[in-house]
């Protein structure tokens, strides 16, 4: 009986060992299968234009919805939110974050510093509370302005490359609408903000919107002057019937020249910007290193 148990156990162990060795070999995918699986698109189970909000975003949206903002400020915040790459609906979340930080920073100062030291009613503490409330209200705006500037810079530096690809597509025989779709779907510009704006504009055109209005709205969303001139150039080219590929090539060359001039201007300013660190930090240190030993030797002579 024991011999049969040992034989059965040995057979099972050998079978398991053989299966563990052969399983990776038998289930190994070829390079073609891996590439096809990577290119295959997965259809989402549920399509939604606006993503579902989390509980935290829902709380901030409700908090921001209670804030009464002037129509002028509301329009300004909306434009900045769209220029930063967010949806129009996130304006309420942005306002809620401003209110939350304006209340949270003074509360943290009061609970963890003013109350333990018993200095809550002093003038300095009240001044700190007011300053922290103002700072908390302004921090989201500062972050939003920086986000907008970073996105505008990225769009400015990507526009000549996208214009080159548009030129190639147009010269290959594609229409302007097909060229916009082809350019926006290029894997090289998959996460680029300008490609996303082009994709949104092409979807609006396919939905029935006039091309001139779609391009004008795209330029307004980005808040980049070069994109506005690009959309104006496309509209004028279509209106007057001039060569589209030539106009794209000339506009791309002008943008590259402008980008090179900006780089040369920044390089020319480097000498002025480095003057103050040299005068206040590097030159005094070099002076101490060179004159210090001689100064001590002169003091030793007079002693």
pLDDT, one tens digit per residue, over 244-301 is: 888 888 888 888 898 889 889 888 888 888 888 888 888 888 888 888 888 778 877 7
- Give tens-digit pLDDT for 203-229: 999 888 888 899 999 999 989 888 999
Q: Three-state SS across 220-274?
A: HHHCCHHHHHHHHHHHHHHHHCCCHHHHHHHHHHHHHHHHHHHHHHHHHHHHHHC
Coil, strand, or helix at residue 114? helix
Question: Is the pLDDT confidence value at 183 over 70?
Answer: yes
Distances in Å between the Cα of 289 and the Cα atoms of 6, 280, 283, 297 are 84, 15, 10, 14
Structure token digits, residue 4 = 């049969």
Place of tokens 């908090």: 63
pLDDT level of residue 1 (50, 70, 90 thresholds): low
CA distance 57 to 92: 9
* Contact by Cβ (8 Å): 251, 227: no
Placement of tokens 């099972």 in the chain: 12
Mean pLDDT score of the chain, rounded to an integer? 81
Top CATH class, 152-263? mainly alpha
Interval 75-118: pLDDT, tens:
888 999 999 988 888 888 998 999 899 999 999 988 888 888 88
Query: What tokens does 149 get?
Result: 């500037």
The domains of the chain are located at 55-148, 152-263
Give the C-alpha separation, 221 to 232, whole Å. Answer: 15
Q: Is 30 helix (H, G, I), strand (E, B) or coil?
A: coil
Give whole-number Cα distances, 121 to 133, 249, 276, in Å: 16, 68, 43
Query: What's the gap between Cα 171 and its chain centre?
Result: 32
Q: What is the pTM of this model?
A: 0.70
Neighbouring CB atoms inside 10 A of 154's CB total 15
């Amino acid at each position: 009986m024991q011999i049969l148990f040992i034989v059965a156990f040995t057979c099972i162990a050998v079978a398991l060992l053989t299966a563990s060795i052969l399983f990776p070999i038998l289930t190994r995918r070829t390079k073609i299968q891996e590439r096809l699986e990577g290119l295959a698109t997965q259809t989402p189970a549920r399509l939604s234009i606006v993503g579902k909000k989390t509980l935290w975003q829902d709380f901030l949206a409700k908090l921001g919805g209670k804030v009464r903002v002037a129509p002028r400020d509301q329009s300004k915040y909306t434009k900045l939110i769209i220029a930063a790459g967010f949806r129009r609906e996130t304006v309420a979340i942005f306002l809620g974050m401003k209110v939350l930080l304006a209340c949270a920073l003074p509360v943290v100062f009061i609970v963890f510093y003013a109350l333990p030291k018993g200095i809550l009613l002093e003038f300095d503490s009240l001044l700190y509370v007011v300053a922290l409330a103002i700072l908390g209200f302004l921090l989201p705006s500062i972050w939003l302005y920086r986000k907008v500037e970073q996105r505008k810079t990225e769009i400015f530096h990507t526009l000549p490359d996208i214009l080159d690809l548009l030129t190639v597509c147009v010269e290959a025989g594609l229409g302007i609408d097909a060229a916009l779709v082809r350019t926006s779907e290029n894997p090289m510009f998959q996460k680029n903000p300008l490609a996303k704006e082009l994709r949104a504009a092409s979807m609006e055109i396919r939905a029935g919107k006039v091309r001139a209005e779609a391009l004008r709205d795209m330029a307004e969303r980005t808040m980049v002057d070069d994109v506005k001139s690009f959309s104006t150039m496309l509209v004028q080219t279509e209106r007057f019937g001039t060569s589209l590929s030539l106009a794209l090539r000339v506009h791309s060359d002008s943008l590259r020249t402008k980008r090179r001039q900006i780089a040369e201007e920044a390089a020319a300013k480097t000498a002025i910007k480095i003057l103050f660190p040299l005068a206040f930090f590097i030159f005094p240190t070099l002076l101490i290193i060179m004159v210090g030993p001689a100064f001590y030797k002169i003091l030793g002579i007079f002693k």
